[in-house]
Structure 1
Amino acid sequence: MKERLSTTVQQLKPSGIRRFFDLAASMDNVISLGVGEPDFVTSWAVREASILSLERGYTSYTANAGLLELRFEIMKYMKRNFNVSYDYKDDIIVTVGGSQALDITMRALINPEDEIIVVEPNFVSYSPLISLAGGVPVAIETTAETEFKLQPRQIEEVITSNTKALLLCSPNNPTGSSLSKEELQAIADIVIKHDLLVITDEIYAELTYDEEFTSIASLEGMKERTIIISGFSKGFAMTGWRLGYICAPTEIAKAMLKIHQYTMMCAPTMAQYGAIEALQNGQHDVEEMRKSYRRRRNYMVKSLNQIGLECHSPGGAFYVFPSIKKTGLSSEEFAEQLLLEERVAVVPGNVFGKGGEGHIRCSYASSMESLEESIKRISRFVENKL
C-alpha cells in the first residue's frame, strides 16, 4: 500500500515532540515540562457563556467565516490592543485553532516551488505545512548569542526570485524570544524593499513580560502585506476549544475562505460564543495569568543559570530554552536520559530545527511546586553528567 501514498506525505517526518510525550505517558511520577499549553483552566465566565449557548439551542453551523458578532469583537480587540484595523465582514476568518489557520494560509498563498522563509528554532508544523502546500521552506538559523532573534541581514542572504513570504513567530515557540518594535521595523524595511509577504504567528501576543507586544502589521506599509495568525489557546487558556482566527487583506482572506468552506465549514459554534465572552470581559484573567507566568519565568531562568545551563530571559510565551552543551550530550540524549533517570520530561531542541540542537525546551506552564521539584531533579542530573 505504501506506493499508493502521496510522496510528499511519505517524506514528512513524524512530530519529534510526540515521541517524548508518549514515552512520558507510559511512566510514573513524571513532571512534564514539555506540554505547550497553559496549566490554567478556561475562566468560568467563558465556560458559562458556552454552556448557555447550548442551553439556548445554538447548535447549528455558523457562517463559514464565523459568527459576525465574534468577528466584530476580534476587530475591536485588534484595534484596541494592537492598533491594527480590519473589516470584520471581509478581513477576519474564525478557524479551528491556529494550526488550521496556518494550513489554509499556506494553501492560499503557495504555488509550486514558492519559497517561504522560516526562522529556526520554530514550531514543528511550519515547514511540513509549507511542504504539504507544495512550497519550499527556507530556514534561517538564529542563535543564543542574539537570544534567538532574527537579524535583518539574514533575510537578504536567503532571498531568491522564488521567495514569496517570511514566516515569523513572536513571542517565539520554542525560545520565548520576543521582537521589539524597533527590531520588527528593521525586518519590515527588508520585507518592503523586496516586496515580500509576512505571515506572523501571534498566538502568544497576550503573554509578553518586559515590553508591550507589537504586531508587525501595525507598522507603516505592512498591514497590506501581512497575514496575522492568532487564537484563544494560549492567552485565554482555551487550547481544547480549538479556536483561532486570521486577519488578512481582503483578497487574501477571500482566497483562504474558499479553502475553509470546503475543508472545515466553520469553527465549533459553542466555542465561538465562549470566545465572545473572552474578548468582551476576559482581560483581567489574561493579566492574572501573565503575572503568574512572569514570576515562573524569572524563577526558571535564574535557577537554570545557577545549575550551569545557560539560559536567556525570554520576553514572552511560556518557554525557556537553556543550553545543555556543557553536558556533552545531544539534545535528544539529554531529554531521553533526563526522563529515564529523573522522570522530568522536556523537549529536545533539535525537533524545532537544526538551530535548536544543544538546547532543550522547558515549559513553565506548570505549578511552582512542580517547577521547583523539576529544578532539583535537573540539577541532580546535570551534576552527574559534568
Structure 2
Amino acid sequence: MTRQRYNFHGSDLEIIEKIYNIKKEDIINFAANVNPLGISPKLKKTLSERIDSIMSYPDREYTSLREKISEYVDADMTDIIVGNGSTELISLFIRIMKPKKALIIGPTYSEYEREISLGGGSSLYYRLEEEKDFRIDIPSLERELTPDVDLLVVCNPNNPTSSAITKDDMRSILDICKSKGIFVMVDETYVEFAEDVSSISSVQLTRFYNNIIILRGVSKFFAAPGLRLGYAICGNSDLIKEINKMKNPWTINSLAAVAGEIMFTDEEYINKTRQMISSERTRICDTLKTCPNIKFYNPAANFVLVKILKNDVTSLDLFEAAIKKGYMIRDCSTFPFLNNKFIRFCFMMPEQNDALLKTLFKNLA
C-alpha cells in the first residue's frame, strides 16, 4: 500500500497529532529550528511587571524598541523598521518594490515565491549545487542575473541547507546587483546562531549600499514565534519612508514591543544560546561522521541538512521512524531541487539530540 506523503511544517503539531495519534505535548520538535533554551529568563521574570503597558497605545514610532534593536545589531536607529513578524515586512517590501522578476537562491523557504506572486511578479531559482555542498558560486550567479531580473532573494544562512554566504561575498554580490539595477532582499532569520555572526551578517553593509534590505525576527533565536515581532535594517531612507507610509499603525502590540526591548538586552541568555548551539553543532557533526550511510553538509545555522545514502531508505522512512518515537524532523522532499533522500533537523538539548541520532542511526544501519 502506498503511504500518503504530507508536507509538514515545524508548526504542524496538531496535524501530526491527528495522523500519528501522538499528543503534541509529547513531540520534541526538531523541525521548527527554534532555540531549545526557550524564551529569555529575563523576559519571563520581568514581562509581568510591564502588564500595564496594554492600557495605552504603543508609540507609533516604537522608539524604545528600535533603540534596543539598534544597540543589538549595531545599526543606526533610523535604518530600522519593525513589523508584525518578518512576513509582514516582506509583504510590504514586495508591494512597494513591485518586482517583475525575482531570482531566488534555492532550495529555500517557499514564502518568498508566494509573496512575489501575490505582488504580481514571477520567480525563478538560482540553484545551489549539491556537488558544491550548496555553497554559492558568484560567477555562475552573475550569469543568472539577467537584465529582466530586478530582485535577488537570499536566505543567509539558508534554510534548509544551513549554508552561508560570507559578508565579503555578499559585498561582491551587492556590487554586481548595483551595476545591474537589482535590489537584494536578505533574510537573516538564522544568522544569530552562526559561529561568527560578524563574518556572515550583512548589517554593516547597509551603511554603504542602498540596494539591500535585511529581515530578521524573534521567532527562532529568541524562541518567540507567537510574539510576531520582526524587524528590518535598510540604509535606503526613501524605502524606509515608503514602508512606514504603507504600514498600518500599531502593527506590534504593546506587550510584544516591551518583550522585544527586554529580550534584546538579555546578554546572558544570548551568550548561553550561542555557546550551546556551537557546542552541539560541533558534537553532532562529529557523530554524523561516524555513520557511513549518510552525508551531511557543514551547517552554519542551528540545523543540519542530511542526505541518505542507503538505497532502500527514504526521507519519509526516517520521518516516520522518528515521529513514532516522538521526534519530529523535516522531510525535505518538498523543497526545490531536493528529493526523498534529504532530511533536516535542528539542534535541541544534548540528551534529546542523542536520542534522535540513536533512532536515525538504527534505521540507517
Alignment of 1:305-324 (within 5 A): 305-307=289-291, 308-315=293-300, 317-324=301-308
User: Could you report, residue by residue, the CA deviation over 1:249-284 in whole angstroms, capped at 9, with x for unpaired residues?
Assistant: 2211122223321xx7421211111211222x3122
Rounded to whole Å, the distance in 2 between the matches of 1:115 and 1:363 is: 32
1:375 has 2:350 as partner? no
- Cα drift, residue 16 of structure 1: 4.7
1:51 has 2:68 as partner? no
Q: 1:125 aligns with which of 103, 111, 117?
A: 111
Counterpart contact for 2:327–2:356, Cα < 8 Å: yes
CA 1:237/1:342 → structure 2, altered by over 3 Å: closer, same or farther?
A: closer
CA 1:219/1:357 → structure 2, altered by over 3 Å: closer, same or farther?
A: farther
Q: Secondary structure at 2:194's aligned position in 1?
A: coil
Counterpart contact for 1:121–1:356, Cα < 8 Å: no
- Cα drift, residue 217 of structure 1: 4.7
The unaligned stretches of length 5 or more in structure 1 are 1-13, 80-84
- 1:230 corresponds to: 216
Cα RMSD, aligned residues only: 2.7
Rounded to whole Å, the distance in 1 between the matches of 2:27 and 2:54 is: 41
Q: Secondary structure at 1:173's aligned position in 2?
A: coil
User: Could you report, residue by residue, the CA deviation over 1:191-228 in whole angstroms, capped at 9, with x for unpaired residues?
Assistant: 22322111111122221115634333534885311111
- Cα drift, residue 243 of structure 1: 0.8
TM-score (normalised: structure 2) = 0.86
More displaced, 70-79 or 226-235?
70-79
- 1:62 corresponds to: 58
Rounded to whole Å, the distance in 2 between the matches of 1:232 and 1:158 is: 33
- Cα drift, residue 30 of structure 1: 5.0
- Cα drift, residue 95 of structure 1: 0.9
Counterpart contact for 1:59–1:270, Cα < 8 Å: no
- 1:361 corresponds to: 344
1:73 has 2:68 as partner? yes
User: Could you report, residue by residue, the CA deviation over 1:129-154 in whole angstroms, capped at 9, with x for unpaired residues?
Assistant: 21112111211111333332221123
1:42 has 2:39 as partner? yes
1:86 has 2:76 as partner? yes
User: Could you report, residue by residue, the CA deviation over 1:324-353 in whole angstroms, capped at 9, with x for unpaired residues?
Assistant: 14335554x345443466554221223332
Alignment of 1:149-160 (within 5 A): 149-160=135-146
Q: Secondary structure at 2:193's aligned position in 1?
A: coil
CA 1:367/1:337 → structure 2, altered by over 3 Å: closer, same or farther?
A: same
- 1:303 corresponds to: 287
Q: Which amino acid aligns with 2:157?
A: P
Q: Secondary structure at 1:212's aligned position in 2?
A: helix
1:190 has 2:176 as partner? yes
Alignment of 1:1-386 (within 5 A): 16-17=8-9, 21-22=13-14, 24-26=16-18, 27-28=21-22, 30-55=27-52, 57-64=53-60, 66-79=61-74, 85-88=75-78, 91-111=79-99, 114-209=100-195, 212-219=198-205, 222-248=208-234, 249-261=236-248, 265-279=250-264, 281-307=265-291, 308-315=293-300, 317-331=301-315, 333-339=316-322, 344-355=327-338, 358-364=341-347, 366-383=348-365
- 1:3 corresponds to: none
Q: Which amino acid aligns with 1:373?
A: A
Counterpart contact for 1:232–1:244, Cα < 8 Å: yes
Q: Which amino acid aligns with 2:268?
A: H
Between the two proteins, the alignment pairs up a number of residues equal to 353
Q: Which amino acid aligns with 2:219?
A: S
CA 1:356/1:185 → structure 2, altered by over 3 Å: closer, same or farther?
A: farther
TM-score (normalised: structure 1) = 0.82
- Cα drift, residue 186 of structure 1: 2.9
